[in-house]
Structure 1
């Protein structure tokens, strides 16, 4: 057992506990979301001792040298004095300028900033309420629209944060937005390479950004987007994607429905199975997978077995139970 000291108060970290586990048990107010080291919401600092290397995975070197670490990934190896981060150092304020329905349970949320917001299409950010509640959402637009960010927010059962965004936040309201993170984005290299984009639900958000970015950079290789859901009412931007396919001969859009009823023009079955049946050889393809974690994790293995290099597989598995 090791002792954690915060503002001269001491707390015992039990064996097998992370720093975050201890702070939550002691009712210390600390923002967190994924508990997997992805969102970086729980970043804190150890001014006196170097934190375990594994607790700094994914952080910028400038933060590592200042002894910042992720509380959810830190299993202490010695006593530690901990400084809670000033969230204003990692967040900037934006203003909601649009909030409208995309389908029966998904909204388009648009946030504007006074200055340009640098990001890459397909990355994600954290949104934070005034009470510190934090959730991660993928960016749906492209960097050319750098003073705004667009998000597709699905209402989840018992989801406090998504319900707040759907029901309470209004145009003109301010909201805290973190710096962008994530490696699931398009790079304008090997433009003749085939691109496979597979997503479920609001996995279309990062994929739409990646697609638009690729087309804006003049990608010449084939681009196949498979967007899946159970019911047609849970898909969205169908007409927009079909129009893009008419404008760009190398882009192919396939909406997929796994339910019993499927109108004409929709593929029937699970989105991953449909994608693999239509593209059985993925050698030299670049693959982007976004949405339900079960689909993403299964598909990562499947596309690798179909010939895709691990270096060319980019994935964003949504943490659907935490929103």
Structure 2
């Protein structure tokens, strides 16, 4: 069964299959809606059903409370049509037309960054063009049909490899392989680029707030490379929170950026410091609240642990920052998904 889907306010119309989610249909037709996890666990894709009815799919009540569902909201990565549909969604023009591909890659380098973090550098086929925006991610496709999503930690360029930051998860199938048996020249298949977490150019006068925990630094690194490659005079504040100081990495690069770009301000925060740490302590949500009690003029990009992402987004909104200026990528554990 095929239905019609209309996106407002753009007026774009397209076919949508009965077993196809709203997000899948939009992406298939080249229209990018805001999204991240694609598994119903981050709420980035939440939007309103203006007309028609849907099967809401496998929805976590925390991501879509009953009162929001009754008000017409749905998670577009889960909702499938039961009738023709009209929805309200803010399309992401910068991502439109970027093709999502399934490609092989070769592990060119493996580099230890921190005690439990490794960088993989993936070499792509020379015959394939792979376009992406700094901040997007790829899904590594495993042999059992499951996927593991990792942010791209660099900006695109001729012949550029894809840099991924992998944190060792105890008992994790893929991360265990990365830290034990993976070797250079191994072949990995992936799908991407995915997600709509990247720098917007809509508000060039607004200072930027970038916030990350752990390997949430990966997409932020790519974003910063992009900002510094295209001289930007806006103030850029980057808050990076970790548990222990030894979990920070790329310190020389961050110091170099601070020396070369006077508008760049790095704020490291450690939640479980030892006696050797003399910097800020606690959580970055608290630090940002203290430094920006009235954040209404910022554009914020938040990435990392979902507790930080959701709590900081809520705190910024309550302090006066309109939600249209908040973009996030919560590192949730996606549900298994076959390719």
TM-score scaled by structure 1?
A: 0.73
- The aligned counterpart of 2:108 is 97
Q: 1:299 aligns with which of 308, 312, 336?
A: 312
Contact 1:289 1:316 in 2 (8 A): yes
Secondary structure of residue in 2 paired with 1:170: coil
Partner SS state of residue 301, structure 1: helix
Alignment of 1:174-193 (within 5 A): 174-193=187-206
Match of 2:123 in 1: 112
**Given the superposition, is the C-alpha separation of residues 126 and 146 from structure 1 closer, same or farther in structure 2, using an over 3 Å criterion?**
farther
- Deviation digits for residues 158-213 of structure 1 (CA, Å, limit 9, x no counterpart): 11111112222211111111121111101344333200011100000011111111
User: Which residue number in structure 2 is paired with residue 166 of structure 1?
Assistant: 179
**In 1, Cα distance between the equivalents of 2:276 and 2:148?**
35
Q: Which whole-Å CA distance do the structure 2 matches of 1:225 and 1:64 have between them?
A: 32
Q: Is the 8 A contact 1:286 1:313 kept in 2?
A: yes
Using the alignment, how far apart are the partners of 1:211 and 1:269 within structure 2?
24
Relative distance call for 1:268 and 1:170 in structure 2 (3 A) is same
Moved more, 224-233 or 164-173: 164-173
Is 236-245 or 260-269 further displaced after alignment?
260-269
State which of 242, 254, 257 in structure 1 corresponds to 2:270: 257
> Which residue number corresponds to residue 131 of structure 1?
144
1:141 corresponds to? 154
- 2:332 counterpart of 1:319: yes
What secondary structure is seen at the aligned counterpart in 2 of 1:296?
A: helix
1:34-92 deviation line (CA, Å, top 9, x unaligned) = xxxxxxxxxxxxxxx93267x23254353599xxx9886367969xxxxxxxxxx9411
Distance 1:64 1:144 in 2: 23
* Shift in CA distance, 76/116, structure 1 to aligned 2, threshold 3 Å: closer
Following TM superposition, by how much is the alpha carbon of 1:239 offset from its aligned partner in structure 2, in angstroms? 2.5
2:245/2:273 contact within 8 Å kept: no
